[in-house]
Structure 1
Amino acid sequence: MDLGVGSFVVANALVSRQARNITSMRWKAALKSISPLVFLGFARLISTSGVDYQVHVGEYGVHWNFFFTLAAVSILTSIIRIHPKYCGIVGMLVLAGYQVWLNFGLNEYLTSDERSADIIGQNKEGVYSIFGYWGMYLIGVSLGYFLFHDLSSKGKIRSSQVVKVWVLATSFWILAIILDSYVERVSRRMCNFAYVMLVFGQNFQVISILTLAGSISHDKNLVLEEAFNQNMLGAFLVANILTGLVNLSVDTLSASPLAAFMILVAYTFNLCMLAGLAQFSGVRIKFW
């Protein structure tokens, strides 16, 4: 799930309204789109507390969870409106500034056991990592715009897009390795620069592989691919629920390699089956 949360942000950024250069929503519409995320955040907080579910406070904090992070990124995007052409530059600047802040002592604070009584101190990991996720989102918006949605480049050859995706995947992996080796180790907890590059590298590597599948299938999306595309939030919620059920019913720390493999197979099968059924039934969970 450490890679999954970042991948969810990237996937949404690539196909977002901003990446498609659609006029930004008004405040009422923006608040309406954010409210379900806030609701899900509180629902997760209440449900995990109610069933005494294992929650590591070092991940996001005492009360925070990823749904609150998504809501915060949406709020920042709504308040600070940036043309997709410049989102990449702004995103890199945000990440660079945040990384400098981390290197000058913020990382020590975030990884320590120190917690003040205020709401920010109680949820320091989740609150401060918003900067990393926001930078990640902005870069994703820019890449989505230039690669897939730029109207001025509709006539460009598909093969050139494929090459660009492969080059980007390689570049992100190289940057991730350099940052991890010489700046700061990859940390999802802090959502630092190295983690962001790792997430982009992994996602664009997957996209690169899918472009090959698309070439073989003559530009027709795979059925399972289409099912997940139509229900990304729904699939994400189901994945969270399935993960929770596994953690509640199985002692994962003492599970054997074979048992772990069988659990993963069952988990993947059920997730794909439910996504396929939702697609077949026309069910779609989408708030924005």
Structure 2
Amino acid sequence: MHDDYKTSKEAFVSGTTGSTVLHINAICSVALAGFPTLHSALTSRVAVFRSTPFFVEWILLSVPLLLSMTVYAEAPGALSVLMLVATAVLLLLPPIEDGAPLPTRVDDGTASACDVGDRSVFQASLPPLRALSTYRAHMMLMTVLSILAVDFQVFPRALAKCETYGVSLMDLGVGSFVFSQGIVSAIPLLKDPSHLRKPFGYKLLNTLKKVASVAILGLIRLLAVKGTDYPEHVTEYGVHWNFFVTLSLLPLLEVFTHRAISHMPVALLGLWIGVVQQCLLSFAGLGDILFNAPRSNVIFANKEGLISLLGYFSIHVMGLSVGTIILPPRPSFFRKHIVLQGDSRSVSLDLVAPRQFRKIVAELFSYAFVWWGLFAFVRLKLDVSRRMVNLPYILWLSAFNTSFILGYCLLDMFFFPARISRVKDSSDPAGKRLVLEECSTGSRAPLLLEAINKNSLVIFLIANVATGLINLSVKTMYASDGKALLILGGYAYCLCAFAWLFRNRRLWRF
């Protein structure tokens, strides 16, 4: 009986062909309507909700995502409209006035952590970015909800990972996770661009130490899956490979590109890596190996993981390019810092200068326009394949994630408008010239989102373990929609409660 259920379960999550880009965008747009829009309207207009309790944050920030991929999956626009109507009513109220004057510098001289990612960043070095915290929490919640929801009938099969070609919500999730990690990998380069020119062996050894724990997690997952005879889909990564192995290798590959990053735009480098990946698939026979080669040895047994690695690295570098745009005070900061390194007369650019949000938004819009245009052009000849991580998939992930980060930035500018402040120009050695720069008056992201960002990798691990335990305890494939929603709701509540409990403590650094 167990073998029959295992076989049926593997068939249940196999052979899917996906949905459409428009449908996936509509589902994810619920996050834009629910995450920052309704929550920001509530906290900026109603004083009693200025500091929202956990349950309210869970309702506003988690439940809409769960509904969008289950009962509202076929009509996500209706859910977005409901939340936007509630937002419109709240906008009729006057905004709460901030009584404190706006400082011209974002530096209180302390070393309090700011959660722009899984790395520890300090306000003395890099100010927080609300839009990035919101985006990363959205991505993480969508990922952890979908990895369990896919095992239930209430989750449409069109949203499950595609077997070979197609676009789906879960195909988007894994690539977005890599893109997000690429964004935060820009932090050490922004804090010390000279890191690009440090000895290769030194950087490789340090990176190995950092990723060793993630590689061990990949081994533990392999042993757990094989030891419990857990249903698995080998065409995702292979027989022994898994996502943690890919995640641990990407930072190592980045070290090999530091020389190139010093001499060319990061986005162009990421695009060229994607082009090389497509050429290897189309002209070097890797595509044929992926689909037709028998799993006769350990290399061919893990052909999906090996062949897709370069494509995921392209996505990682695309994320890195976005990180160099949105994290520093101005989009040109990283490029100028690299140029100024060769000028002995130059001074260090100031990381804590007020952010120029309009310039950041303009550059994000330009990149989103280019990526969507290239995606539409390439898709005329090639289908999207998450299994291969081909060029259309890379461009789709880059366009989607850039667009949604842009959306979060625009919403923050609307709900928490910037003021103009006169500050010293850090590029002027004499310090006499003043420039007009935009200072965000926005607060940090909602506490629940900050909590998820602080321990996102730990939450992802717990979600994987919880998913396995639930599937071993319940025949999820045969559960009714009501029972499925009850289990998924409890699962989401427990994950968010864990994040909330440890919101002031970072449990693991990666």
Q: 1:155 to 1:209 in 2, by over 3 A?
A: same
Match of 2:240 in 1: 63
Q: Residue 230 in 1 paired to residue 454 in 2?
A: yes
Partners of 2:223 and 2:305 in 1: CA distance: 17
CA contact (8 A) 2:178 2:315 kept: yes
1:205 positional shift: 3.4
Match of 1:5 in 2: 174
What fraction of aligned residue pairs are identical, expressed as a percent?
34
Match of 1:221 in 2: 444
Which residue of the other structure, out of 291, 305, 310, is the alignment partner of 1:131? 310
CA contact (8 A) 1:7 1:203 kept: yes
**Matching of residues 68-217 of structure 1 within 5 Å:** 68-82=245-259, 83=261, 86-104=265-283, 105-112=285-292, 114-117=294-297, 119-149=298-328, 150=333, 152=336, 157-179=356-378, 181-215=379-413, 216-217=415-416
Partners of 1:250 and 1:177 in 2: CA distance: 42
Match of 1:271 in 2: 495
Structure having the higher helix fraction is 1
CA contact (8 A) 2:318 2:398 kept: no
CA contact (8 A) 2:293 2:300 kept: no
Partners of 1:219 and 1:278 in 2: CA distance: 24
- Residues 64-86 of structure 1: per-residue CA shift (max 9 Å, x gap): 01111112212212244243653
CA contact (8 A) 1:166 1:205 kept: yes
CA contact (8 A) 1:10 1:136 kept: yes
What residue identity is the alignment partner of 1:11? Answer: S
1:34 positional shift: 1.6
CA contact (8 A) 2:286 2:307 kept: no
Partners of 1:122 and 1:72 in 2: CA distance: 18
1:33 positional shift: 0.5
1:12 positional shift: 1.4
Q: 1:264 to 1:157 in 2, by over 3 A?
A: same
1:213 positional shift: 4.4
What residue identity is the alignment partner of 2:241? Answer: W
Match of 2:218 in 1: 41
Q: 1:204 to 1:264 in 2, by over 3 A?
A: farther
1:130 positional shift: 0.7
What residue identity is the alignment partner of 1:120? Answer: I
Partners of 1:56 and 1:71 in 2: CA distance: 21
**Matching of residues 13-28 of structure 1 within 5 Å:** 13-16=182-185, 17=187, 19-20=189-190, 22=192, 23=195, 26-28=203-205
Partners of 1:108 and 1:176 in 2: CA distance: 23
Q: 1:269 to 1:90 in 2, by over 3 A?
A: same
Partners of 2:211 and 2:234 in 1: CA distance: 24
1:140 positional shift: 1.5
**Structure 1 segments of 4 or more deviating over 6 A?**
none
CA contact (8 A) 1:125 1:190 kept: yes
- Residues 229-249 of structure 1: per-residue CA shift (max 9 Å, x gap): 222322222232233234333
What residue identity is the alignment partner of 2:404? Answer: V
Match of 2:438 in 1: none
Partners of 1:65 and 1:72 in 2: CA distance: 12
1:136 positional shift: 1.1
What residue identity is the alignment partner of 1:279? Answer: R
Superposed CA RMSD in Å reads 2.6
Match of 2:472 in 1: 248
What residue identity is the alignment partner of 2:319? Answer: G
CA contact (8 A) 1:14 1:143 kept: yes
What residue identity is the alignment partner of 1:161? Answer: I
TM-score, length basis structure 2:
0.51
Unaligned runs of 5+ in 1: none
Partners of 1:195 and 1:7 in 2: CA distance: 11
TM-score, length basis structure 1:
0.86
Aligned partner of residue 184 in structure 1, secondary structure: coil
1:174 positional shift: 4.3
Q: 1:202 to 1:278 in 2, by over 3 A?
A: farther
Aligned partner of residue 20 in structure 1, secondary structure: helix
Partners of 1:259 and 1:177 in 2: CA distance: 40
CA contact (8 A) 2:235 2:304 kept: yes
Deviates more, 1:235-244 or 1:153-162: 153-162
What residue identity is the alignment partner of 1:182? Answer: L
CA contact (8 A) 1:18 1:141 kept: no
Q: 1:185 to 1:277 in 2, by over 3 A?
A: farther
CA contact (8 A) 2:322 2:402 kept: no
Partners of 1:92 and 1:253 in 2: CA distance: 40
CA contact (8 A) 1:176 1:198 kept: yes
